[in-house]
Amino acid sequence: MKPIHIALAVAFILSACGNADTSQAQDGQLGEPTRRAPETQGDLQASFAPVVQVSAPAVVNIAAQTVVRERDPFFEMFGRGRTRERVGQSVGSGVIVRSDGIVVTNNHVIEGARQIMVTLNDRREFPAEIILADPRSDLAVLRLDTGGDRLPTMPIDDESPLHVGDLVLAIGNPFGIGQTVTSGIISALDRSDGQGATAYIQTDAAINQGNSGGALVDMDGDLIGINTMILSPSGTSAGVGFAVPSAMVRRVVESAAGGETAVTRAWLGASVSPMTSNEANRIGMDRPRGVIVNSVYRGSPAATAGVREGDVITAVGGQAVDDAAALNFRIGVVRPGEQVELTVFRDGTERTVRARVEAPPGDATPQTVTIGGRNPFTGAAVADLTPALADQIGVDPTTGGVILTGVSGRSYAAAAGFRPGDIVRSLNGQTITSSHQLQQVIEGTERGWDIVILRNGQEVRGRF
């Protein structure tokens, strides 16, 4: 589990496997839940044991062996920069979602691993291989070498509605002490990590280091989330834990099931910002809700569906969205090529439009150009920021411009303060839309450089 000390941010599946098991293993065992507060002494003596009995066997312990390269302090004393390798160990949890040995966990649990061993609740051990890793959602899918054994599974439930206050269990392997179950409630939904990666389920069920990749379970014994991180000043549970919702878990599993090596996310092609109280009053909304469309990418699914600048998107598929992360998540769990229903507030009324979402256009791995000559960009490698590349690195796909993919250590660009990831927005008053145009403007400038870049979402101006 990755603790977060200041801000909520992430310290951040199988060509022959088919779909993950659906929610039917518990049919006739637990029944349909009725939401109510405890009323009698008997209610207070009720037990979670029936839920644990059907779900715990599918939660596993994951031990990942990694190689860590570090500078050798002995050679540092003599001014030599030698490095040495050290074997590291990462311990986390996972959930079996297919009986033929398909396991979902967190990407940060197995990232960089050269050897992975998975231990079941009944102490059987199996070696595992990574078949898909998705850093953006912090999910990864493993395949166990079971030798033909069928394993216990936990159904993925991404259809039942979740409510703040619902009872949940967190099952995992905290601190490597062995499988542990904690209980709590859903504290909040659609929590953002500030980077637009996903919309988390927040819970007060105790989650600690080692719980990463473990299961957040509802009262049917179904998987509703993968426990991923905590917000804590101490590094241990403080009752604020976060889980990746099961809709994203299923999307990642299905991507691997289709033989993909990476998750291709759908995009809408609209840049949005949260609704404010003043803006809601100005346009006649009863209260602040939804997100305001700031711009629409030409030819995007949003443009084709008739979404306009100034519209307010209040829901996707009937589910409310209140910030960019929630919108991106609702669109991101839809397969490219499918239709989504958008609820849009415009001219005082709400209407429904349908958009066929697609993968973002452009090359996600474009060619880079290294800037030469004598100018502030000398030594920087740049590339066109296509929607596909922007989506891959978690930047607004409608941003456009040119992105710095690398900066040489002793170059003019490094001395000027440029960093990899900076996006060049304008040079000497000219909006930059491509690396070719950037080179042309540079070649036409003899002295005086007025540069505007976008860094971590903030515009920065520099004059040289």
Pair 435, 457: CB distance under 8 Å? no
Catalytic residue among 192, 212, 232, 255: 212
Using alpha carbons only, how large is the chain's radius of gyration in Å?
25
The answer to whether residue 436 is catalytic is no
DSSP 175: G
Question: Residue 357 contacts by C-beta under 8 Å, 6 or more apart in sequence?
Answer: 266, 267, 268, 301, 331, 334, 336, 337, 338, 339, 340
Contact 58, 155 (CB under 8 A): no
Torsion of CA 304, 308, 313, 315, to 10 degrees: -20
How is residue 102 written in tokens? 């398909």
Give me the torsion for CA of 43, 160, 154, 55, rounded to 10°.
Answer: -10
Residue pair 60/103 in contact (Cβ under 8 Å)? The answer is yes
138 in active site = yes
Name residue 127's beta-bridge partners: 117
DSSP H or E run through 59: strand 59-71
Q: Is 271 among the catalytic positions?
A: no
Question: Which residues are paired to 133 by β-bridges?
Answer: 140
- One of 21, 55, 90, 108 is an active-site residue; which one? 108
For residues 212-223, b (16+ Cβ closer than 10 Å) or e, as one string? Answer: bbbbbbbbbbbb
List residues bridging with 62 in a β-sheet.
Answer: 92, 118
Rounded CA gap, 61 and 84, in Å? 29
Given the residues 21, 134, 138, 193, select the one marked as catalytic.
138
Buried b / exposed e along 322-346 (16+ C-beta atoms within 10 A): bbbbbbbbbbbbbeeeeebebbbbb
Catalytically active residues are: 108, 138, 212
